[in-house]
Amino acid sequence: MDITEICMECRNFFAPASKKDDKSFIHAGTFTISGHNITPLDFIQEGQYFRIVGSAMNDGVYCNDTESLEILTDETFDGAIWEMSVPRAFLTMCADIDAWRNANEAVDSSNMSPYTSESFAGYSYQKGGGVSQGTGNAVTWQAQFSRRLSAWRRLNVL
pLDDT exceeds cutoff 50 at 30: yes
Specify whether the CB–CB gap between 29 and 13 falls below 8 A.
no
pLDDT, residue 147, reads 96
Residues 33-45 have a mean pLDDT of: 95
Three-class DSSP category at 67? helix
Q: What are phi and psi of 141, to 5 degrees?
A: -65, -30
User: Residue ranges per domain, the chain?
Assistant: 3-83, 113-150
Task: Identify the band that residue 105 occupies on the pLDDT scale cut at 50, 70 and 90.
Answer: confident
Higher-pLDDT residue of 41, 129: 41
In this structure, the number of other CB atoms found within 10 A of the CB of residue 74 comes to 12
pLDDT, residue 137, reads 62
Q: Are 52 and 79 in contact (CB under 8 A)?
A: yes
Instruction: Go through the chain and tell me how many residues it has.
Output: 158
Per-residue pLDDT, 116: 57
What does the pLDDT look like over 63-102, one tens digit per residue? 999 999 999 999 999 999 999 999 999 999 999 999 999 9
107-126, pLDDT tens digit by residue? 655 444 455 566 666 676 66
